[in-house]
Amino acid sequence: MHPTVEQVTQRIIDRSRSSRGDYLQRMKAAEEKGVHRSRLSCGNLAHGFAACGQGDKQALKLTNAVNVGMVTAYNDMLSAHQPYEHYPEQVREAVRELGSVAQVAGGVPAMCDGVTQGQPGMELSLFSRDVIAMSTAVALSHNMFDAALYLGVCDKIVPGLLMGALSFGHLPTVFVPAGPMPSGLPNKEKARIRQLYAEGKVGRDALLECESSSYHSAGTCTFYGTANTNQLVVELMGLHLPGSSFVNPGTPLREALTRESAQRAVRNTAQNGRFTPLYEVVDEKAIVNGLVALLATGGSTNHTMHLVAVARAAGIVINWDDFSDLSAVVPLLARIYPNGEADINHFQAAGGTAFLVRELLAAGLLHEDVATIMGRGLSHYTREPFLDGKQLVWREGPETSLDEAVLRPVAEPFSQDGGLKVLGGNLGRGVVKISAVAPEHRLVEAPAIVFDDQDQLAEAFKRGELERDFVAVVRFQGPGAIGMPELHKLTPYLGTLQDRGFKVALVTDGRMSGASGKVPAAIHVWPEASKGGALARVRDGDIIRLDAGAGRLEVLVDEAQFAARSDACGDEVLRHQAGMGRELFAPLRGQVNCAEEGASIFFATES
Ligand SMILES: O=C(O)C(=O)C[C@H](O)[C@H](O)COP(=O)(O)O
Ligand code: SF4
């Protein structure tokens, strides 16, 4: 094993010893030697299977039949989740072949960040993750189940499902992907048309034509944003079938993988002699494997919060120093938009997760000795699935990349480090993803222009006031202020200015999308402005220095002068706290912890 990976893993184990011990004690107490539904009364049970067909009802009366609870995030809003509409029927049919039953335990809400990007709904997005975790608990609290299947792909949904699932970590668990849509208009061309629209050089009709040529059918969007990062991270944590994340929906292989996922959940139960509870799969080594997967592929910055929150749900405490230390030794092996021109289908064709796992295992950057849904050993994941006639089989993945413009071996990486930097300095702590930022843009020192709302920046751009070097400080965007929205709508404006030769950067206590890229952005800055963070004391004209390479974020103002300043009042936030349901989330804004602790409502802040 690489010494840094070993050291980071050991310090996480040491840091988590007490909380992990409490979690495991809770999980073992929840384990039932027999089927869980045997603890229910006759009345409970009768309600639980009243709507089942006779065959299923009979099976559920017996104690040897496995009942699989499905938690589904199906809806028609997310192109990535639309394929889940008919998964329950496929799952039920597959488990009946093994004499078992499957029921939809419950549904969870799912927000499409693409639909809400730049809209009021985006201010509910991050909180929807924790709402999904609670909704997962509502579903599984029927306690009719011996195993669980989770149907979710996108941004906050997989982290939320996994956080909820970990409260039921005593259950054998399989996550079921649905796959990416086929490639459409290249993401880089989409971004170019967006910048032309931002400059007023093309109209809405051209923009809509471009967008709908990029997002054109069922399946996950093909950029490497949070959704596809989720898929890759969860697969390398051993919770998907090997090589199943990026198989396109509506294909025979996809359907075969869905059926096998369902049967795998049945086989991994106590009744079938291979009891593999979720709490055994998600341990410190699996979390580190998830971090390495994120870093080796330039994955979404949202995981600097999601993986923290998921780990906490398993009793494991990680922080941004773990990300930073691993990033320093994990090479960047994939260039998928926004980190390159390729999309996720090209990644899959180049060798996909099988090649990535092979390379990272060989370099000692992944823990092999882990539990997975396939049994012990991450080396199960150097294989890729295919159909031999109608038979689903696995074969070793390619030993060399089939497209080195997309996927590289450890010996010749795109970059020696994972491209995620933690920032420190007198403005607070934040993160910056440099894998998508050209080297010449990784150090920006320029006067601040301060915005208390992202629309103010867009309006200033349209008035022609931003044609210069500057650092946009967009503050009062934090989780406690307005729910920490993604500010991805600013990308075309800032990208246009960068292309015009200006040195621009963004500093915010908000987020960016995993699909954001080329503009240097110091994000997730905490303490947030609305909680006394230094961003509240920055003024127009202050010189800000963002040095991504050195991991520094500073305002170059005399320390005593800066400390003597009063905080900006941030009244703008008031109009973001009601309307479109935002008034319902006031308790969550009041309870949420800081970005480095996962921006979650569940875990008491330690900062
Ligand atoms: O990856 C993430 O974290 C995202 O939130 C991606 C969002 O779905 C984008 O908003 C969709 O990309 P655009 O079409 O460029 O807006
Ligand atoms: S990847 Fe993002 S934009 Fe695409 S369906 Fe999922 S949430 Fe929506």
Whether residue 559 contacts residue 427, with contact meaning beta carbons closer than 8 Å, is answered with no
Q: What are phi and psi of 7, to 5 degrees?
A: -65, -45
Counting from 1 in the atom list of ligand 1, the atom nearest the Cα of 229 is 1
Nearest Cα residue to atom 13 of ligand 1:
114
Q: Which ligand is nearest to the CA of 338?
A: 1
- In Å, how far are 60, 202, 254, 446 from 466, measured between CA atoms? 66, 20, 48, 12
The ipTM of this complex is 0.96
Give 220 Cα–ligand 2 centroid separation in angstroms.
6
The model's pLDDT over 56-102, given as tens digits with 9 standing for 90+, comes to: 999 999 877 999 999 999 999 999 999 999 999 999 999 999 999 99
Neighbours of 226 (CB within 10 A): 28
Residue nearest to atom 4 of ligand 2 (CA): 221
Which segment, 204-208, 211-215, 292-296, is predicted with the most confidence on average?
Answer: 292-296
What gap in Å lies between CA 453 and CA 450, rounded to an integer? 9
209 strand-pairing partners: none
Extended beta strands in 365-503, E state: 371-372, 375-376, 383-388, 391-396, 420-423, 429-433, 443-451, 470-474
Pocket of ligand 1 (CB under 6 A): 113-114, 117, 155, 225-226, 300, 302, 486, 488, 513-515
* Residue 216 alpha carbon to ligand 2 centre in Å: 12
Q: Which residue has the higher pLDDT, 526 or 34?
A: 526
Q: How far apart are CA 124 and CA 588, in angstroms?
A: 10
∠ CA(415), CA(417), CA(418), 5° rounding?
100
- Round to whole Å and give the CA distance between 329 and 505: 26
Residue ranges with strand state E in 23-129 = 67-72, 101-107
Residue 500: exposure state from Cβ atoms within 10 A (0-12, 13-18, ≥19)? exposed
Query: Residue 1's pLDDT is what?
Result: 96
pLDDT at 33: 66
Percent of the chain whose predicted confidence (pLDDT) is above 70: 99
What confidence tens digit (pLDDT) does each residue in 325-373 have?
A: 999 999 999 999 999 999 999 999 999 999 999 999 999 999 999 999 9
CA of 353 to the centre of ligand 2 (A): 21
Look at the block and give the residue holding tokens 């050209």. Answer: 438
| β-bridge pairing 470-474 and 504-508 | parallel
pLDDT of residue 605: 67
pLDDT top residue among 166 and 64: 166
Which pLDDT score, from 0 to 100, does residue 604 have? Answer: 72
> Is 80's C-beta closer than 6 angstroms to any atom of ligand 2?
yes
Position 244 scores a pLDDT of 98
Q: Is 52 annotated as a binding residue?
A: no
Burial string for 272-301 (b: 16+ CB within 10 Å, else e) reads beeebbbbbbbbbbbbbbbbbbbbbbbbbb
Q: Which of ligand 2's atoms lies nearest the C-alpha of 80?
A: 5
Ligand (nearest to CA of 514):
1
Q: Is pLDDT above 90 for 543?
A: yes
The residues that bridge with 511 in the sheet, in sequence order, are 486
Q: Report the residue among 76, 111, 112, 229 best suited for mutation to probe ligand 2: largest number of ligand atoms under 8 A from its CB.
A: 112
**How much distance in Å is there from the Cα of 109 to the middle of ligand 1?**
18
3-state secondary structure of 367: coil
Name the strand (E) or helix (H) holding 287: helix 284-296
Residue 78 CA: nearest ligand 2 atom is: 5
In DSSP notation, 398-433 reads: -SS-S-TTTB--TTS-SBSS-SEEEEBSTT-EEEEE
- pTM, two decimals, is 0.97
> Phi first, then psi: what are they for 361, rounded to 5°?
-65, -45
- Evaluate if residue 405 carries a pLDDT over 60: yes
Q: Is 441 exposed, middle or buried (0-12, 13-18, 19+ CB in 10 A)?
A: middle
Question: What's the pLDDT band for 516 if we cut at 50, 70, 90?
Answer: confident
CB distance 226 to ligand 2 below 6 Å: no
Residue from 123, 486, 490 to probe ligand 1 pocket by mutation (most atoms less than 8 Å from CB)? 486
**Contact (CB, 8 A) for 436 and 385:** no
For the record, the structure tokens of 161 come out as: 């499902």
Question: For ligand 2, atom 8, which residue shows the shortest CA distance?
Answer: 112
* Helices vs strands, H then E, count in the chain: 22, 16
What pLDDT is stored for residue 63 in this prediction? 78
The whole-number average pLDDT for the span 513-517 is 85
Task: Give, using CA atoms, the residue closest to atom 7 of ligand 2.
Answer: 112
Which pLDDT band holds residue 253 (cuts at 50, 70, 90)? Answer: very high
Q: What distance in Å separates the CA atoms of residue 95 and residue 385, rounded to the nearest whole number? A: 20
Q: What is the pLDDT of residue 339?
A: 93
Query: For the chain, which residues make up each domain, given as ranges?
Result: 3-182+217-396, 420-597
Q: For a substitution probing ligand 1, which of 113, 197, 297 has the most ligand atoms within 8 Å of its CB?
A: 113
210 is in an annotated binding site: no
Distance 366 CA to ligand 1 centre (A): 28
Q: Is the predicted pLDDT of residue 215 greater than 60, yes or no? A: yes
Predicted pLDDT of residue 96? 96
Q: Kindly state the average pLDDT of the residues 22-31.
A: 95
Contact 264, 394 (CB under 8 A): no
Which range among 30-39, 84-93, 408-417 shows the weakest confidence by mean pLDDT? 30-39
* Cα-Cα-Cα-Cα dihedral sign, residues 475, 478, 483, 486: positive
Does ligand 2 lie within 6 Å of residue 113's CB atom? yes
* pLDDT surpassing 90 at residue 514: no
Grade residue 280 by pLDDT with cuts at 50, 70 and 90.
Answer: very high
The best mutation among 153, 154, 224, 232 to test binding of ligand 2, ranked by most ligand atoms within 8 Å of the C-beta, falls on 154
CA 384, CA 594: separation in Å to the nearest integer?
39
* Distance of CA 215 from the midpoint of ligand 2 (Å): 9
CA triplet 165, 171, 174: central angle to 5 degrees?
A: 65
pLDDT at 515: 82
Question: Cβ(117) to ligand 2 under 6 A?
Answer: no
| Shortest-distance ligand to the CA of residue 117 | 1
- What is the rounded distance in angstroms from the CA atom of residue 6 to the CA atom of residue 1? 6
pLDDT over 60 at 606, yes or no:
no
For residues 544 and 33, the model is more confident at 544
Give the largest Cα separation in the chain, rounded: 77
Average pLDDT over residues 206-224: 95
Token readout for 26 is 């809770």
Given a cut of 80, whether residue 518 has pLDDT beyond it is: yes
Q: What is the mean pLDDT of the chain?
A: 96
Ligand 2 closest atom vs CA 228: 1
The answer to whether the CB of 452 is under 6 A from ligand 2 is: no
Q: What are residue 64's phi and psi, to 5 degrees?
A: -95, -15
pLDDT band at 34 (very low <50, low <70, confident <90, very high): low
Domain 420-597, CATH: 3.50.30.80
Dist. CA 117 → ligand 1 center (Å): 7
Tell me, in angstroms, the distance from the centre of ligand 2 to residue 79's CA. Answer: 7
79 lines ligand 2 (CB under 6 A): yes
The dihedral over CA atoms of 133, 134, 139, 140, expressed in degrees to the nearest 10, equals 70
User: Is residue 222 a contact partner of residue 153, using CB atoms and an 8 Å limit?
Assistant: no
Contact 326 CB / ligand 2 (< 6 Å): no
Percent of the chain predicted with pLDDT > 90: 95
Rounded to whole angstroms, how far apart are CA atoms 418 and 298? Answer: 6
Half-sphere exposure of 540 (CA within 13 A, CB side): 4
Distance CA 307, CA 319 (A): 9
* Confidence band, pLDDT 50/70/90 cuts, at residue 522: very high
pLDDT at 397 over 60: yes
